[in-house]
Chain A
């Protein structure tokens, strides 16, 4: 294979984006999978998309719009899901559909060609700039740093929020922090992966890691590794066959999930789950 392509800055940016985006999305995915937040994550990713569309329409930085919109969505969704006046799925569904409606409204109001909007919708890792990579790098560093610093608080909150509160951990603040981190990761990954596909890159690597380990620390590491692997393999396939990178990255992550699910030791009966000889003899 001709490796001279690695000398080009656009390819270096793409590889860095794949690695950093893979790490951030993989790690955030662990929260999403273990806390049962897929629908909340989808709603936040659509809010980020709507914010980006607003930025494009009103001619300000679309990523700023995405950041603000995803934070606002997280701030609304958190209490809505907690208060329980409607079922969390119903209230989050209302926000999700509203965000999708707003995104298409802003797209429709946009004058001229909609190439910028389509780029954010589908993603284009090969056109990433240094500033895009910087943003992803900052978000990935914040996500990694916070997980290391507050691992025990995250672990307890993931395991059981009410129990975490009862032992004196600020679990509500931790939960909202997780929603904000999800929003920030989605925003930074919008351009390389795309608003429609980003959530798969959050869900699939973590869901794959979930099949393979009973250790939460290992699950974080495996999910980040699968995120990076999805990004790099997807990028390679995209480059080799000249097809959209967002799609190849997400399809790669889905294949990793399917293989992990097939190989999962959690599907097999463990020794400790089998009846004891005494019980077998009864």
Chain B
């Protein structure tokens, strides 16, 4: 249970002139739920992409599920890593329905030249039920609301039967109800499927409920980490986001009153 499933050593990632990660090291144990927090441009998304091999390392090393991640084994490792990005704009006329999008999660597992079988479709129906999307299963994906689309993304990840779950601001641009629903679902899935989860979020109020450990990022570095109670203090947040202490307290009160 406490084995390391992700091990990042001195990762450096650069997009042309911008350095996104400046030597980040992080060890994630099996079953952990980690929240990753920090200002825009801190390198949070990049941290997730080096775990599923989509981000290119300039230097450093990454091990995922015991395998040293290279460009050659990225495809096979990604089959075991579920990834949900921020809500995307989907063409409302896109000729793909909810069930088909959920099935795409199994395409990597199935491999080339193999079609989904009856059992695969049964799994899709089960995961759609779990995320509460059974009644919309035949609807074109572009006709759904943002919250519904993220539920389908969760179903797609579940269908993939991953061991690691990466979520990149899955609740951004959703309303309060959809936010809380999605985060509750994420925690439920994490617990019931015994996953290891890394969640990037700006929703600080959700972290104490959802996370075992919080990683604070700033300027491409890990700036602090610990339990939510240890690191989500007003003082630390004031320094992390470069805003006065009084402003942090005011925003907290504002968030509570909402």
Contact = CB atoms under 8 A, between A and B. Distances in A.
A162 interface: yes
A216 B96 contact: yes
Interface of A: 34, 85, 149-153, 155-156, 159-160, 162-170, 210, 213-216, 218-219, 266, 270, 272-273
Given A152-B115, A153-B112, A165 B78 contact: yes
Residue with the greatest number of chain B CB neighbours at <10 A, chosen from A151, A164, A166: A166
B52 interface: yes
A273 B142 CA distance: 12
Contact of A155 (B104, B113, B160): B104
Interface in B15-40: 16
B96 A169 contact: no
A34 B94 contact: yes
A215 B95 contact: yes
B143 A273 contact: yes
28 contacts: A34-B94, A34-B95, A85-B16, A152-B107, A152-B116, A153-B107, A159-B94, A159-B104, A159-B141, A162-B54, A163-B83, A163-B85, A163-B156, A165-B78, A166-B81, A167-B79, A167-B107, A168-B76, A168-B108, A168-B109, A169-B75, A170-B75, A210-B93, A210-B95, A214-B140, A219-B95, A270-B143, A273-B143
Given A152-B116, A153-B107, A156-B107, A162 B85 contact: yes
Nearest to B166: A166
Contacts of B75: 168-170
Contacts, number: 81
Determine chain A's interface SS by DSSP, over half rule: helix
Of B95, B101, B115, the most chain A CB neighbours within 10 A belong to B95
Interface residues of B, number: 34
B139 interface: yes
B108 A155 contact: no
Contacts of B143: 270, 272-273
B144 to A, nearest CB: 10
A168 B78 contact: yes
A257 to B, nearest CB: 14
Given A156-B104, A168-B109, A214 B54 contact: no
A155 B143 CA distance: 18
B112 A155 contact: no
Contacts of B54: 162, 165-166
Contact of B107 (A34, A85, A169, A272): A169
Contact of B88 (A155, A160, A168): A160
Contacts of A213: 95
Contact of B52 (A150, A166, A170, A210): A166
A167 B105 contact: yes
Given A152-B107, A273-B143, A159 B112 contact: no
Nearest to B76: A168
Given A167-B78, A167-B79, A155 B115 contact: no
A155 B105 contact: no
A120 B161 CA distance: 52
B169 interface: no
Nearest to B103: A152
Contacts of B139: 272
Given A34-B94, A159-B101, A166-B52, 20 more contacts: A85-B16, A159-B96, A159-B104, A159-B141, A160-B88, A166-B85, A167-B78, A167-B79, A167-B107, A167-B108, A168-B107, A168-B108, A168-B109, A169-B75, A170-B75, A210-B93, A214-B93, A215-B97, A216-B96, A216-B100
Contacts of A170: 75
Contacts of B115: 151-152
Contacts of B141: 159
Contacts of A273: 143
Name the 9 nearest CB pairs between A and B, nearest first.
Answer: A168-B108, A168-B79, A166-B83, A168-B78, A167-B108, A216-B95, A156-B104, A214-B140, A214-B95
B84 to A, nearest CB: 9
Given A149-B113, A272-B143, A169 B108 contact: yes
B130 interface: no
Nearest to A166: B83
B125 to A, nearest CB: 18
Contacts of A160: 88
Nearest to A156: B104
B87 interface: no
A164 B78 contact: no
A97 B190 CA distance: 52
